[in-house]
Structure 1
């Protein structure tokens, strides 16, 4: 299709759109697992605090 690597990277005049799309997609694919892990850790910490609070309330009530 392309006669040179420069033509390939130019993408027939659509290089800005094509490479920005690839870049944004790559960024999302990198950031999504990080965001999911952070959210998971936040939920686990909150649940641990709730369990500790319930245990404290049970001790205090006895």
Structure 2
């Protein structure tokens, strides 16, 4: 489809509001998925780091008590 001007392109033959709203909602949903994935990944990494540190502290405490 060929448009004569930018305003004709944005109007999309009278359906521009619905077309651009659909694009906007889709883009917002994709951005939300990416942000949510990054936040959850960081939370998992922090959880694994805390668990690993806890295990190392427990192992160090066990070694100290075995020496006594």
Tell whether the structures are fold-level matches, with TM greater than 0.5.
yes
TM-score, normalising length from structure 2? 0.68
Structure 1, gaps ≥5 residues long: none
TM-score, normalising length from structure 1? 0.73
Report the count of equivalent residues.
62
**CA deviation vs aligned residue, 1:35-61 (integer Å, no higher than 9, x gap):** 222211110100011111111222222
Greater length-normalized contact order (CA 8 Å, ≥ 6 residues apart): 1
Give me the whole-angstrom Cα distance separating, in 2, the residues matched to 1:9 and 1:41. Answer: 39
SS class of match (1:3): coil
Max radius of gyration: which structure? 2
**CA deviation vs aligned residue, 1:17-38 (integer Å, no higher than 9, x gap):** 1001111222233333332222
Structure 2, gaps ≥5 residues long: 64-68
